[in-house]
Chain A
Amino acid sequence: MNTGPALVSVLRQGPYLIASIHTALDDSEMIRFQEDLIEQIGRRRSRGVIIDVAALDVLDSFGSRTLRNIAEMARLRGALTVIVGIQPDVAFAMVRLGMGTGSVHTALDLEEGLTYLDRVVPSGPRTRA
C-alpha cells in the first residue's frame, strides 16, 4: 500500500508544516493524508500549515471538504491553515460546483502562503521554544 512514489510530502519549515499533494488522491488516501497531517501538527508543534495543491488539475467535492476539515481540525490543534496553488480551472470548477474552501485562507503559491502565515501567526513563547 505504501510502495511506489509518494503521493504527498509533508515538510517542516520552522514553525510551519508544508504539505504538497503530488497527484489526485482517492477518498481513502485523502483520509490517510488528513490523519497523518493532523497527527504531525501536534507532534511537531506547528503553528501554521500550508497545503499546496498546485499539482492538482482536479479537486472533487470530497477533496475540498476534507481540506476544509483539515483546516478546522488544525485550528483546534493550534495551527492556522492556508491552501495555496489552486489552478485557475480548478478554482472556477470548485466555485461552479459550490464547493469553496469556506473560511479557509487561500493564497497564490507557496511563497504567498508563507508571507501570509508570517503576518498572521502570533509569535508567542511557544514558537521561540
Chain B
Amino acid sequence: MDEDHSLVAEVSADFPAIDRQDEDQLLPQLVAHLREHRTKLRQEWASRIHDANLLHAMTPQEMGAETTSVYDNYVEVLETGSVEALQHYARDLSERIIPRGVETHEVVGIVLLLRDVLARSLFEKYQRDFGLLNRVLDAYEPAANRIANTVAVSFVDERERVIRQQQDAIRELSTPVLPVRERLLILPIIGVLDRERARQLTEQLLTGIRTHRAKVVVIDITGAPDVDESVANHLVQTVDASRLMGASVIITGLSPEIAQTLVTIGVDLSKMNTIGDLQGGLEEAERLLGYTVIRQNGSAGQ
C-alpha cells in the first residue's frame, strides 16, 4: 500500500500540467458529475437507507421527496461552499420529522450514507487516476464533513429548542394552587415530579398559604406516577414547612409506588396526614375546618 501511495505521489509530481487552476476546476467538475447522475445516485442512496432500516416513520413518497431535496441541497453546498441554505433546510426538516419520532442516529445515518454513496461514485469515476482521485477527495471530503456536521447540529439544535419549549409549557401549567373554600386550598399534581417542579411546588404552596390564609391544604398526587428519593424528601419537607406556617396538609391519592418510596427512605411519616382519595381528603378537610355539607332532600342522586 505504502509503495502505491508514494508512487501516486511521484506520478502526480511528475505532472506539473495539473496546476492550481485545475485544482479550482475540480469541484465544479465533481458537482457536474453528481448532477449528471442525480437520479441513479439518489435511487442508490434511497435503497441504502431502506437496507439500513432507517427512517421507518416516513412513507415512501415522503422519502422520495425528502431525499431529492436533501440531495440537491447537498450538491449545492458542494458547489457554493455556503451551508446557510442547508442549515435552514435541515432545521425545517427537523421541525417536521422530530414530532414523528425520528432519532438523531437516523438523521446522521442517512447523511453519512449519502456521503458514502457519492464518494463511491467518485471512486468509480476516477479509479484510473489515483492522483486525480486523491485531489478530488481532498476537495470533496472537507465539504462533505461540513455538511454532515451542519445537518447533525441543526437537528440537535432543533430538538433542544422543542424540548425547551415543552419545558416552558410544563412549567407554566405545572402547579396550580386552587382555593376551593375559605381557608382550604387544593394542589393537584399531575405528571412527573422532578426536582425543579418540586421546588416550584413548595414555593407556590407556601406563598399560597400566606395569601389565602389557608388552614388546610389538600395535595392530590393521584396523577403523579412515581417520585425519586430526593423529591419524596422534598415533599415531606414541604408538609413540615406548611405546618410551621400553621396549615395542616392532607395528602391524597398516594400510589403504591410512592407509598413504598416514602417508607423505604425512612422519613418520619407520623405527622403526615394521608387519605386514600381526593374525595376523602376534601371531606376530612371540611371536617377540620368545621364545615358540614348536607344534601337537600329530593335532590338528584338519591
Chain A residues whose CB sits within 8 angstroms of the CB of B244 once the complex forms? 83, 86, 91, 94-95, 100-101, 106
* B200–chain A nearest beta-carbon distance, Å: 12
A88:B247 contact, CB within 8 angstroms: no
Q: Given contacts A88-B203, A92-B238, A95-B237, is CB(A108)–CB(B209) below 8 Å?
A: yes
Cβ of B202 < 8 Å from any Cβ of A? yes
> Is residue B94 contacting chain A, with contact meaning CB distance below 8 A?
no
Q: Write out the residue numbers on chain B whose beta carbons fall within 8 Å of the beta carbon of A80.
A: none
Considering only residues 80-129 of chain A, those with a C-beta below 8 Å from chain B are: 83-84, 86, 88-89, 91-92, 94-96, 100-101, 106-109, 112
CB neighbours of A106 from chain B (8 A): 243-246
Which of A83, A92, A112 neighbours the largest number of chain B CB atoms within 10 Å of its CB? Answer: A92
Residue on B nearest A83 in the bound complex, by CB: B244
CB-CB contacts of B203-227 with A at 8 A, as 1s and 0s?
1001101100111000000000000
Q: Is the interface of B mostly helix, strand, loop or mixed?
A: helix
A40 to chain B, nearest CB (A): 24
Shortest CB distance B196–A (Å): 15
Q: Out of B238, B240, B241, B246, which one reaches A108, CB within 8 Å?
A: B246
Q: In the assembly, what is the distance between CA of A100 and CA of B245, in Å?
A: 11
Contact across chains for A91 and B213 when beta carbons are under 8 A apart: no
A106 to B203, CA, bound (A): 19
Task: Please classify how large the interface on chain A is, using the bins under 10, 10 to 19, 20 to 34, 35 or more.
Answer: 10 to 19
Q: How large is the interface on B (under 10, 10 to 19, 20 to 34, 35 or more residues)?
A: 10 to 19
Q: Which residues of B contact A108 (CB under 8 A)?
A: 209-210, 213-215, 245-247
Q: Are B241 and A95 in contact (CB under 8 A)?
A: yes
Q: B230-250, CB under 8 A of A: which get 1 and which 0? A: 000000011011111111000
B246 cross-chain contacts in A, Cβ below 8 A: 84, 86, 106-109, 112
Give the residue of B213, B241, B247 whose beta carbon is less than 8 angstroms from that of A94: B241
The reply to whether B243 and A88 form a contact with Cβ atoms under 8 Å apart is: no
Kindly report which residue of chain A lies nearest to residue B207, judged by CB atoms. Answer: A88
Contacts of A95 in B (CB 8 A): 237-238, 240-241, 244
Q: What A residues does B210 contact at CB under 8 A? A: 88, 108
* Chain B interface residues (CB < 8 Å from chain A): 202-203, 206-207, 209-210, 213-215, 237-238, 240-247
* A-B contacts, 28 listed (Cβ < 8 Å): A86-B245, A86-B246, A88-B206, A88-B209, A88-B210, A88-B241, A89-B206, A91-B244, A92-B206, A92-B237, A92-B238, A94-B241, A95-B237, A95-B238, A95-B241, A100-B240, A100-B243, A101-B244, A107-B246, A108-B210, A108-B213, A108-B214, A108-B215, A109-B213, A109-B246, A112-B213, A112-B215, A112-B246
Known: A86-B244, A108-B215. 14 other contacts (CB 8 A): A84-B246, A88-B206, A88-B241, A91-B242, A91-B244, A92-B206, A92-B238, A100-B243, A106-B243, A106-B244, A107-B246, A108-B246, A109-B246, A112-B215
